[in-house]
Chains A and B, each alone.
Chain A
Amino acid sequence: MSRIPALLVTHADLGAALLRAAEQIYGPVGDVEVLSNAELSRAELELAIVERVSRWPHGGLVLTDFPGGSCQQCGLLAVRGHAEVVVMTGINLPALLDYLHNRERYSAGELAERLKAKAQDSVRVQRARPA
C-alpha cells in the first residue's frame, strides 16, 4: 500500500507546532504539509486546501483542529469530488504520531477512523494516589 499523505489545517501556528513536536519524537517527516487559516478568508482557505489535495492521485488525509471551525468547514468544502480524501477533525499529538507510524498500512478512510480512536483514547483524566 502506498503512503497516505496528509495536510494539517489549523488555527494560528498549531499545525506547524504539532509537526515540530512530532518530529522530535518520530524523527524527520515527509509528505505532511501544514496550512494555517491565519489571515485567510473562507474562500481563500478552501482554495488553498483544494490546491494541495489536488496533488494527491491516491487520496490523503486533511487533519484539522476544531469541530465547527473554518479549517474543518473549508476542508470539507475542498474535498468535494475527491472521494479518496478524508477529513479528520480533532488532531492531537498522539494521533499525529499514530498517523506517521501507520500511513503505509491503511487506506485514507481506515487511517482516519484509526486516528479518531487514537485521539479520543489519548485524552485521560488521572489523579495522584494518596500519599
Chain B
Amino acid sequence: MSWRNQRIDDRLIHGQIVVAWGVALRLARLVVVDDQAAASAWERELLASAAPGVQVSVLPLAEAVACWAAERGAAGDAMLLLRDLRTARVLVESGADVPAFTLGGLHYAPGKTKLNEYVYLDDADREDARALLRRGVKLEAQDVPATRPQVLTVLDPTLAP
C-alpha cells in the first residue's frame, strides 16, 4: 500500500510521529526528505534511532522524486516527512505527483502568524501553499490522528484560490 501520509513538520521525526501516527497507521517506513539532515551522518543516525522497529530513510531533495515513484505500491505502509512548505513545493514542481500534504507542525518564528496551535505561516509559506493548491494538491492541518483534519484554506481564507 505504501504512502499513507505526507507530512510537513519542522520537527521531522518526533513523539507524535513515533507514538501516535506510527501506531495508528502501522507504519513500516519513514522517509525523511531534508537536505540538512541527509548531509549529516549524526542527524541521520539520530533520526533512525528515534523510531525503533521502523525503517527510516533520510534523503536529499534531489533523490526524492525517484523515491516517491519507487515507493508507491511497495509492500507495507510509509510516511513522507518534510521540514517545510518550500520543500513540498519543490518536490511537486520537480515531478512528484503528491496528492496531499498534512501540515503537522510549523512552529512560530519571527514574521509568522498563527493559524492554530501548531501552524504558523509567513508570506513565503503562503506563496508556497498557493503554488501547491494551484496544482490541485490538498493541504490540511492535523497534528495527531485523534484530532480532525482542518482544511488549510478554511484556517487561512487568504489562501483560497
Contacts and interface: CB of A to CB of B under 8 A. Distances in A.
Interface of A: 11, 39-45, 66-70, 72-73, 76-77, 80
B51 A68 contact: yes
Contacts, number: 50
B18 interface: yes
The 9 closest A-B pairs by CB, nearest first: A68-B50, A41-B10, A70-B14, A69-B15, A41-B107, A42-B11, A70-B11, A68-B18, A39-B108
Give the most central of A45, A68, A72, A77: most B CB within 10 Å: A68
17 contacts: A39-B108, A40-B108, A41-B11, A41-B107, A42-B10, A44-B109, A45-B11, A68-B18, A68-B49, A68-B52, A69-B14, A69-B15, A70-B11, A73-B47, A77-B43, A77-B46, A80-B42
A68 B14 contact: yes
Contacts of B12: 42
A38 to B, nearest CB: 9
Given A41-B10, A43-B10, A76-B46, A70 B15 contact: yes
Given A39-B108, A73-B46, A11 B11 contact: no
Contacts of A67: 50
